[in-house]
């Protein structure tokens, strides 16, 4: 049986502040914009709002490079706006979740400015500094061969103090040295500050990277074409990770707070369960990556030969994540979309106009009936899809995409390779998730005023796909998400706390599973991931109640015996 906890029964809506709603017509979304949409969120039925970073930042990586942890970035508003947002949310029984980005800071943070100012600075040891290595020819090299996530070496040379510092992400995102207890104290202070201000918990950015293997050894060569290699085995679950997580966990516990750790590269299930095991006192839940890495290289690399994935692979991944957690007393964060991933409907189902709405509802069924806390990413509830194939590279704004493009262009002029890369960006770039939220059919999707140029162009399909047309349409993806979220409340014993059993392990087009409650109730979920009509031959079905149908079926439409499904049809039945 599962332990009960409020954060298991809740749901989370992720807002990417720059792209949600612009209130002052400078082309960038902001906190007053968020406040103006709280009723929209309440109507959808989500209970927590997670804001991607809103803290002071030079915005090299859209706020994932923080230069002051207690000041709101002026482009988003002020601390008063945060107070107002918390008030507006809590008066509707909703909560605010902040993004805690503490594996690294911005290079413009005072700590780093001090740290790089001199080897004698009291902040020197707050970051990870190492001397150069020199080869026989006297040429200078970084301390090891690790690659950064956004191209090149993970080390940057500092002329002033003649040492390298570590940055697993951009050059402007130096990694903090968690071995230093002052760093840990400073992070704990930030956590307390926001909890005391009324936040209800945190999403913790790459939180499994905070402990690095001492000695920072060279990584084995996995990419023979590159000078820089994947070093993740030395920082994805370092020796002191669980100690650090437990320290933070005990502060969170005092506040009965929410926590979800973002944990790429954790392939060892033992590390997962140590982080989220109910009695471990570390994190409430984590974001795993197996399903979103299905068509990526490691760390979301643009692997130009897109790996094709059979449905059996997706089934296997979800089966593992689901059963493993249940058996071991851990908890899942259910997500298929966020600000780092392409749009799920385009990726896992079908983003073409004729199937978009139907298949996004199928995905909502697939995800929403599983065990875990569901996360909705802004626009997912509308079935927003990937950017148009025709968009030129100038429409892309993410440093990850642009750095990749720049490096590729320095290596080749081959038009076939460049074209392939652009195709890859259109399918997988993080930019796909960052276009303005589609509020209505007006210019710029109602995200900003007609005569403002938004920081990213709104998708042309906003005239078809938008909140205004969906909120009152009972057949829309929005309404479907709404009923799915309500369903999770009504059938809590099964959907939240029940166990999980994958069925029909071989079907090429259908994923089907059963949830069982302790009282013996059974929920059968069958999802057609193809545009073909299919016969699903599970066990003989005797349906008692129809819980969800993305074709608007009712119980009498479901015959006894096998289930036949139309294109991207999904059905959830009490049996």
Decide: is 176 part of the binding site for ligand TEU (CB under 6 A): no
CA atoms within 13 A on the CB side of 407: 12
Q: Among 123, 169, 228, 529, which residue sits at the site for ligand TEU (rule: CB under 6 A)? A: 169
Contact 48, 20 (CB under 8 A): no
Distances (CA, A) of 93 to 89, 118, 188, 436, 472: 6, 49, 27, 27, 23
Residue 101 contact among ligand TEU, Ca ion, none, beta carbon within 5 to 8 Å by kind: ligand TEU
CA atoms of 210 and 345, how far apart (whole Å): 33
Q: Are 33 and 88 in contact (CB under 8 A)?
A: no
Q: Which is nearer to ligand TEU, 262 or 569 (CB)?
A: 262
Q: Which does 95 bind (CB under 5 to 8 A by kind): ligand TEU, Ca ion, none?
A: none
CB of 444 to ligand TEU, least distance (A): 24
Q: Which residue is associated with the tokens 């209130």?
A: 23
300 touching ligand TEU, by CB under 6 A: yes
The reply on whether position 238 binds ligand TEU by CB under 6 A is no
Going through 407-555 in order, the beta strands assigned E by DSSP cover 499-503, 510-516, 522-528, 534-541, 545-549
Nearer to ligand TEU, 398 or 569 (CB): 398
* Candidate residues 77, 142, 264, 372; the one interacting with ligand TEU per rule CB under 6 A: 264
Cα-based distances in Å from 428 to 3, 302, 319, 388, 557 = 37, 8, 24, 12, 38
CB of 103 to ligand TEU, least distance (A): 7
Residue 224: CB atoms within 10 A of its CB come to: 6
Q: Which of 230, 349, 346 is nearest to 297 (CA)?
A: 230
Q: Are 20 and 29 in contact (CB under 8 A)?
A: yes
* Distances 339 to 10, 51, 343, 375 between C-alpha atoms, Å: 21, 11, 9, 12
Binding map of ligand TEU across residues 83-112, x = CB under 6 A, - = no contact = ------------------x-----------
Site residues (CB under 6 A) for ligand TEU, limited to 434-453 = none
| Segment 5 to 64, residues that bind ligand TEU, using CB under 6 A | 61, 64
Of 55, 86, 149, 573, the one binding ligand TEU by CB under 6 A: 149
The item of Ca ion, ligand TEU, none sharing an interface with residue 149, based on CB under 5 to 8 Å by kind, is ligand TEU
Q: How many chain residues touch ligand TEU (CB under 6 A)?
A: 15
64 binds, among Ca ion, ligand TEU, none (CB under 5 to 8 A by kind): ligand TEU
Asked if residues 36 and 24 have their Cβ atoms less than 8 Å apart, the reply is no
Pairing of strands 48-51, 12-15: parallel
Chain residues 515-554 in contact with ligand TEU, contact rule CB under 6 A: none
State the catalytic residues: 205, 262
Query: Least CB distance from residue 342 to ligand TEU, whole Å?
Result: 9
Q: Out of 30, 47, 61, 337, which residue is the one contacting Ca ion (CB under 5 A)? A: 30
Q: What is the β-pairing status of strands 373-377 and 561-565? A: unpaired
Beta carbon of residue 92, minimum distance to ligand TEU (angstroms, whole number): 27
Q: Which stretch binds Ca ion (CB under 5 A): 23-31, 178-186, 439-447, 470-478?
A: 23-31
Beta strand residue intervals within 381-508, DSSP E: 499-503
> Which partner in Ca ion, ligand TEU, none is near 99 (CB below 5 to 8 A by kind)?
none
Token reading at 501: 């059993």
Judged by CB under 6 A, which of 21, 358, 430, 507 binds ligand TEU?
430
Take residue 505 and report the two structure tokens written for it.
């392990």
Considering only residues 361 through 400, tell me which ones interact with ligand TEU, judged by CB under 6 A. 400
Which of 47, 340, 431, 569 is in the footprint of ligand TEU by CB under 6 A? 340
205 lines the binding site for ligand TEU (CB under 6 A): yes
CA distance 17 to 22: 9
In terms of C-beta density within 10 A (0-12 exposed, 13-18 middle, 19 or more buried), how is residue 245 classed? buried
The binder of 26, among Ca ion, ligand TEU, none, by C-beta within 5 to 8 A per type, is Ca ion
* 336 vs 339: CA distance, rounded Å: 11
Q: Does 24 bind Ca ion (CB under 5 A)?
A: yes
- Choice between 30 and 73, CB closer to Ca ion: 30
Distance spanning both ends of the chain, measured CA to CA? 21
Nearest residue relative to Ca ion (C-beta): 30
Nearer residue to Ca ion within complex by CB, 26 or 316: 26
Q: Which residues bind ligand TEU (CB under 6 A)?
A: 61, 64, 101, 149, 169, 205-206, 262, 264, 299-300, 339-340, 400, 430
Q: Which residues bind Ca ion (CB under 5 A)?
A: 22, 24, 26, 28, 30
């Amino acid at each position: 049986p599962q332990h009960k906890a409020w954060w298991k029964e809740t749901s989370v809506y992720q807002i990417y502040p720059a792209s949600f709603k612009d209130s002052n017509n400078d082309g960038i979304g902001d906190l007053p914009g968020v406040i103006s949409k709280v009723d929209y969120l309440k109507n959808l039925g989500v209970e927590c709002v997670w804001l991607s970073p809103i803290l002071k930042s030079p915005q090299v990586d859209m706020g994932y490079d923080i230069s002051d942890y207690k000041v709101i970035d002026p482009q988003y508003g002020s601390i008063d706006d945060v107070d107002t947002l918390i008030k507006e949310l809590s008066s509707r029984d909703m909560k605010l979740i902040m993004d805690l980005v503490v594996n690294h800071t911005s290079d413009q943070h005072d700590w780093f400015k001090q740290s790089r100012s001199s080897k004698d600075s009291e902040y020197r040891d707050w970051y990870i500094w190492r001397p150069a290595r020199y080869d026989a020819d006297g040429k200078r090299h970084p301390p090891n061969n690790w690659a950064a996530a956004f191209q090149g070496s993970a080390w940057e040379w500092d002329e002033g103090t003649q040492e390298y510092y570590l940055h697993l992400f951009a050059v402007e995102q130096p990694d903090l040295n968690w071995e230093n207890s002052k760093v840990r104290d400073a992070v704990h202070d930030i956590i307390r500050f926001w909890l005391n201000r009324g936040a209800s918990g945190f999403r913790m950015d790459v939180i499994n990277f905070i402990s690095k293997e001492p000695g920072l050894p060279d990584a084995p060569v996995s990419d023979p074409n590159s000078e820089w290699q994947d070093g993740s085995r030395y920082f994805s679950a370092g020796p002191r990770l669980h100690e650090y997580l437990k320290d933070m966990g005990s502060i969170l516990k005092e506040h009965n707070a929410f926590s979800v750790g973002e944990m790429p590269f954790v392939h060892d299930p033992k590390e997962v369960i140590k982080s989220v095991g109910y009695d471990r006192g570390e994190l409430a839940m984590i974001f795993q990556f197996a399903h979103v890495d299905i068509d990526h290289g490691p760390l979301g690399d643009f692997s130009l030969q897109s790996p094709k994935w059979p449905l059996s692979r997706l089934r296997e991944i979800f089966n593992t994540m689901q059963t493993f957690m249940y058996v071991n007393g851990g908890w899942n964060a259910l997500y298929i979309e966020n600000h780092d991933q392409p749009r799920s409907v385009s990726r896992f189902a079908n983003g073409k106009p004729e199937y978009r709405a139907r298949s996004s509802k199928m995905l909502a069924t697939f995800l929403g009936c599983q065990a875990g806390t569901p996360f909705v990413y802004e626009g997912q509830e509308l079935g927003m899809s990937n950017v148009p194939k025709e968009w030129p590279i100038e429409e892309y704004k993410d440093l990850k995409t642009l750095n990749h493009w720049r490096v590729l262009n320095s290596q080749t002029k081959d038009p076939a390779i460049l074209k392939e890369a652009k195709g890859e960006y259109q399918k997988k770039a993080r930019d796909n998730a960052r276009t303005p939220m589609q509020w209505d059919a007006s210019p710029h999707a109602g995200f900003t005023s007609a005569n403002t140029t938004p920081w990213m162009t709104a998708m042309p399909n906003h005239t078809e796909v938008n909140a205004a047309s969906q909120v009152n349409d009972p057949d829309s993806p929005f309404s479907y998400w709404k009923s799915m979220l309500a369903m999770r409340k009504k059938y809590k014993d099964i959907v939240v706390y029940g166990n999980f059993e994958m069925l029909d392990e071989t079907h090429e087009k259908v994923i089907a599973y059963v949830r069982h409650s302790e009282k013996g109730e059974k929920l059968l979920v069958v999802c057609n991931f193809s545009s073909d009509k299919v016969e699903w031959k599970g066990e003989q079905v005797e349906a008692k109640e129809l819980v969800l149908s993305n074709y608007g079926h009712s119980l009498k439409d479901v015959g006894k015996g096998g289930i036949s499904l139309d294109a991207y049809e999904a059905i959830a039945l009490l049996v």
